[in-house]
Amino acid sequence: MEIKKTIKICLLSFLLLSPFMHVNASNNVKVSTFAVGENTFLLDGHPFVVKAAEVHYPRIPRAYWEHRIKMCKALGMNTICIYVFWNIHEPQENHFDFTGNNDLAEFCRLVKKNGMYVIVRPGPYVCAEWEMGGLPWWLLKKKDIALREQDPYFMKRVEIFEKEVGKQLAPLTIQNGGPIIMVQVENEYGSYGENKPYVSAIRDIVKKSGFDKVTLFQCDWSSNFTKNGLDDLVWTMNFGTGANIDEQFKLLGKLRPNAPKMCSEFWSGWFDKWGARHETRPSSEMVAGIDEMLSKGISFSLYMTHGGTSFGHWAGANSPGFAPDVTSYDYDAPINEYGMPTPKFWELRKTMEKYNDGKKLPAVPKSPISIINIPKFSLSEHSNLLNGMDSIAITNNSDKMLTFEDMNMGWGSMVYIADLPETKSNSILTLNECHDYSRIFINGKYIGTIDRVKNEKSIELPPIAKNSMIQVFVEGMGRINFGRAIKDYKGITKDVTITTDNGNVQTTYKPKNWINIRIKDDYTQALKAFEMSNKQIDLVIDKSISVSMFNGIESLKTEKWLDNINKPGYYRGYFNLKKVGDTFLNMEAFGKGLVYVNGHSLGRFWNIGPQQTLYLPGCWLKKGRNEVIVLDVIGPKGSPVCYGQNKPELDKLNLERSSNIKKPELKKEYLVASGSFEAGNGWQKVKFNTLSTGRYLVIEGLNSQEGKEKASIAELYALDANGKRLSRESWTIKYADSEDVSNGNKTADKVFDLQESTYWATQSGVSFPHVLVVDMGSSNSVSGIEYLPRAEQGAPGSIKNYNIYITNDL
Ligand code: GLA
Ligand code: CA
């Protein structure tokens, strides 16, 4: 009787379990399967549409992880998609950290606990508007390193790191009873280069690290995925809100007619950069895109579903050009920076519920914490910026200056000091090159700023008296995370030239014997700066520094150079709390720099905006006294005060208005091509009849394909004599007849931001002709252009008839 019952139970449980599920005998874990089927993914043998929410664990304080996961679940998502950020896990070569906020295995276990799956994107490069795209800065200590290539040192480090990731996450793949269903190989390599051997090598490393059974995929754009597509990987497409979805999958459908379709990054909004309006994308278009994909059984990951915050120094910078990202990574996502549902969330939730097998979605979880105001408080303690220095080196008999990397520093600022020659007339000082924000002083007197964001390189100096010294202060911002410029050294990367022009004679001088001073972005160093205020500086002095030089620096310090305007430096203040809560620290009284609260680094601020407040999570606050330290490299305008407000300010620009730039006169002799573009999506080429030389590239749109008033362009390239794309690193916009910033920042620089989903658009009410003038930075020989209209269905705003001009004379 007993035996019969047991057999019956066994039989029953066997029948109940899907044929694809089995129990791992060694540890009794229920194991599912995830596989690629005909036109669909298969979970335990059944068709499965991946509805993933992209969320980044380091952008959320650990205390809030589970709340954010539950929010995604309440939105109808079944999966969380994460990147692995190499540079937070290996801050120094061979020192690994997977604890606390870096405990990604725990994050994945929380996802599983909440009945969801995980997609892991372990890089090594991740982009993500994250410092250096996730690569550790110390790689740059090998000067000739080729990043994201088969450089032996790079590949060795990747292998070591991925092995560590494997130790954390391989036990959590679905084959081992965990939540991880898919793992990505590299990231959008097509927008970096064409190199299948490299991508294959990364695939092999990922496999070897313990991801040999899990489904592997690679993500790219529909315009470039074939460049590096490997036969044995799943191919997924990335595109944004508004894109023409059928068009995005057209080529994939042709090449792999039976493959499941997935948009591995469907951009819900966009990231913000300093000095431009906050980006938004219409909710209705995002929801319509998701609706269309779900109705067609297309899997997706919504990037971002919750963006969070790039705390500390982790915000990266976009390129071409240098466009550092703000601290907030709100992204106009459905779940906002501080974890709350937005109108987009509610609208999307309604649509997601339609595809939930007739079931109601789980309730939206309560916020784990309330929001508080903190009354204005003063940061009255001040310490000189130079009190933050902890290391000095001299470049004897050389005009070379040392970068952050040479000084073994990831993030912070440098001060460079050298003797100047006497000059009788004005001269031009050029920093070769300034990375990123420099303030120039002569004998402690402020001369001006050279800002890489504005593509500035030089400044005019007044006549220089005998025995003068130059002091250059350089603050580094995030390292570039996109495109070829990710090899982004900080500080002054080479040298400084001073050019005088005496009538016909031009003389160039390079100062030598630089004193290179390091000021780290580091909380304990900031604390020391206050201890140091009244003491002799306890320097870690390079042996080569002479006593007189040391005294020179000391005297500079006591003369308080850098203090003569607005008082840059460290500021400290306190506030008391009866109850903790999330708040938004208003930084508008300050200039530019970093904030630490109770030792947590909140991130960067800059009065130019658009972000004016920093998210301060309540879980980092305490009842009683809380400490705030601000490192301001410019200095506050008035009294150094802060307060906590109950709403973020992400969209307040404080730029000096540039005087209205006049429309340049387009002379007939500059004209190099006229014609008409074709209608519809996709890249188009125009070849000029003759090779034309000039610094300015002008596109004049005469009318649109739809016969309406608006013009738009998504991307634009100039081609060299061989028809190859010219670098756009030094491009700036000289003139655009109008820019639509009413919703989503459609500024003219979007034509060269290397992003196919972003575009320049003219405002309503302004009619054709529309003119765009690109300053290519120097004179180039141009044989033609490549042009990409908007990615949306019907390519709205496409130009029909055009004139193209090339000239040096605007
Ligand atoms: C690409 C990258 C992401 C992110 C987005 C823009 O798709 O893969 O990491 O940078 O662009 O937010
Ligand atoms: Ca673009």
**Sorting pLDDT into bands at 50, 70 and 90, what band is 546?**
very low
How do the domains of the chain map onto residue ranges? 46-353, 374-381+569-645, 389-522+534-562, 668-807
* Ligand of minimum distance to the alpha carbon of 749: 2
Check residue 797 and give its pLDDT: 94
Q: Which amino acid residue places its CA nearest to atom 10 of ligand 1?
A: 128
238 CB near ligand 1 (under 6 Å): yes
187 CB near ligand 1 (under 6 Å): yes
Q: Which amino acid residue places its CA nearest to atom 4 of ligand 1?
A: 128
Q: What is the average per-residue pLDDT within 94-120?
A: 98
Check residue 11 and give its pLDDT: 40
**Sorting pLDDT into bands at 50, 70 and 90, what band is 689?**
very high
271 CB near ligand 1 (under 6 Å): yes
DSSP 8-state symbol, 309: B
Q: What is the average per-residue pLDDT within 289-313?
A: 98
pLDDT at 513 over 70: yes
Check residue 324 and give its pLDDT: 98
Check residue 21 and give its pLDDT: 54
**Sorting pLDDT into bands at 50, 70 and 90, what band is 10?**
very low
Tokens found for residue 37: 């089927």
Q: Which of 265, 332, 480, 753 to mutate to test the pocket of ligand 1 (most atoms within 8 A of CB)?
A: 265
The Cα–Cα gap between 281 and 240 comes to 9
pLDDT at 543 over 50: no
The Cα–Cα gap between 697 and 692 comes to 10
pLDDT at 658 over 60: no
Q: Which atom of ligand 1 is nearest to the CA of 129?
A: 10
pLDDT at 554 over 80: no
Q: Which amino acid residue places its CA nearest to atom 11 of ligand 1?
A: 128
Residues catalogued as catalytic: 188, 265
Q: Which atom of ligand 1 is nearest to the CA of 270?
A: 12
Tokens found for residue 115: 């009945």
Check residue 789 and give its pLDDT: 96
pLDDT at 199 over 70: yes
* Ligand of minimum distance to the alpha carbon of 713: 2
Q: Which of 83, 188, 264, 281 to mutate to test the pocket of ligand 1 (most atoms within 8 A of CB)?
A: 188
CA-based nearest residue to 161, from 110, 91, 232: 91
54 CB near ligand 1 (under 6 Å): no
* Ligand of minimum distance to the alpha carbon of 125: 1
Check residue 24 and give its pLDDT: 54
**Sorting pLDDT into bands at 50, 70 and 90, what band is 392?**
confident
Check residue 730 and give its pLDDT: 87
Lowest average pLDDT, out of 92-96, 419-423, 476-480, 652-656, goes to 652-656
The Cα–Cα gap between 465 and 442 comes to 10
Lowest average pLDDT, out of 386-390, 567-571, 789-793, goes to 386-390
Check residue 656 and give its pLDDT: 66
**Sorting pLDDT into bands at 50, 70 and 90, what band is 538?**
very low
Tokens found for residue 267: 């951009």
Residues 266-291: tens digit of each pLDDT: 999 999 999 999 999 999 999 999 99
Phi-psi domain of 297 (left: phi exceeds 0; alpha: psi -120 through 50; beta: other): left
751 Cα to the center of ligand 2, angstroms:
5
Check residue 504 and give its pLDDT: 81
Query: Is 389-522+534-562 in the same CATH topology as 46-353?
Result: no
User: Please, which residues bridge with residue 515 across strands?
Assistant: 394, 417
Q: What is the average per-residue pLDDT within 399-423?
A: 95
pLDDT at 578 over 60: yes
Contacts of 8 (CB under 8 A, 6+ apart): none
**Sorting pLDDT into bands at 50, 70 and 90, what band is 496?**
very high
Contacts 24+ apart (CB under 8 A), 354-359: 354/291, 354/294, 355/49, 355/51, 355/76, 355/294, 356/76
Lowest average pLDDT, out of 273-287, 381-395, 525-539, goes to 525-539
685 Cα to the center of ligand 2, angstroms:
16
Helical packing angle, 283-295 and 245-255, nearest 10°: 30
CATH classification code of 374-381+569-645: 2.60.120.260
431 Cα to the center of ligand 2, angstroms:
29
Q: What is the average per-residue pLDDT within 674-701?
A: 95
Check residue 536 and give its pLDDT: 46
The Cα–Cα gap between 482 and 132 comes to 8
- Domain 46-353 classification at class level: alpha beta
Q: Tell me whether the omega of the peptide bond preceding residue 282 falls within 30 degrees of 0, making it cis.
A: no
**Sorting pLDDT into bands at 50, 70 and 90, what band is 31?**
confident
302 Cα to the center of ligand 1, angstroms:
11
108 Cα to the center of ligand 1, angstroms:
21
The Cα–Cα gap between 143 and 507 comes to 31
Q: What is the average per-residue pLDDT within 58-69?
A: 98
**Sorting pLDDT into bands at 50, 70 and 90, what band is 42?**
very high
Residues 126-150: tens digit of each pLDDT: 999 999 999 999 999 999 999 999 9
Check residue 763 and give its pLDDT: 93
Residues 582-625: tens digit of each pLDDT: 999 999 999 999 999 999 999 999 999 999 999 999 999 999 99
Check residue 390 and give its pLDDT: 86
Residues 331-367: tens digit of each pLDDT: 999 999 999 999 999 999 999 999 999 999 999 999 9
Lowest average pLDDT, out of 323-332, 416-425, 542-551, goes to 542-551
713 Cα to the center of ligand 2, angstroms:
8
pLDDT at 540 over 60: no
117 Cα to the center of ligand 1, angstroms:
21
CA-based nearest residue to 697, from 810, 802, 807: 807
pLDDT over 90, % of the chain: 84
Q: Which amino acid residue places its CA nearest to atom 6 of ligand 1?
A: 128
3-state secondary structure at position 164: helix
128 Cα to the center of ligand 1, angstroms:
5
pLDDT at 526 over 90: yes
Q: What is the DSSP string of 659-702?
A: PPPPPPP--GGGEEEEEEPPSSSS-EEEEEEEEEEEEEEEEEE-
CATH fold, domain 389-522+534-562, is Jelly Rolls (2.60.120)
State the greatest distance between any 2 C-alpha atoms of the chain, in Å, as a whole number: 113
* Ligand of minimum distance to the alpha carbon of 329: 1
Check residue 742 and give its pLDDT: 83
pLDDT at 645 over 80: yes
Q: Which amino acid residue places its CA nearest to atom 9 of ligand 1?
A: 128
**CA 807 from centre of chain:** 34
Lowest average pLDDT, out of 61-65, 391-395, 564-568, 733-737, goes to 564-568
Q: Which amino acid residue places its CA nearest to atom 5 of ligand 1?
A: 128
pLDDT at 327 over 70: yes
265 CB near ligand 1 (under 6 Å): yes
- Looking at 225-310, list the stretches that DSSP marks H as alpha helix, in order from N- to C-terminal side: 245-255, 283-295
Q: Which of 84, 120, 129 to mutate to test the pocket of ligand 1 (most atoms within 8 A of CB)?
A: 129
Compute the mean pLDDT over every residue in the chain, rounded to the nearest whole number. 92
750 Cα to the center of ligand 2, angstroms:
4
Q: What is the average per-residue pLDDT within 692-705?
A: 96
127 CB near ligand 1 (under 6 Å): yes
129 CB near ligand 1 (under 6 Å): yes
Q: Which of 191, 220, 241, 303 to mutate to test the pocket of ligand 1 (most atoms within 8 A of CB)?
A: 303
128 CB near ligand 1 (under 6 Å): yes
Q: Let me know: does 414 contact 517? Beta carbons within 8 Å.
A: yes
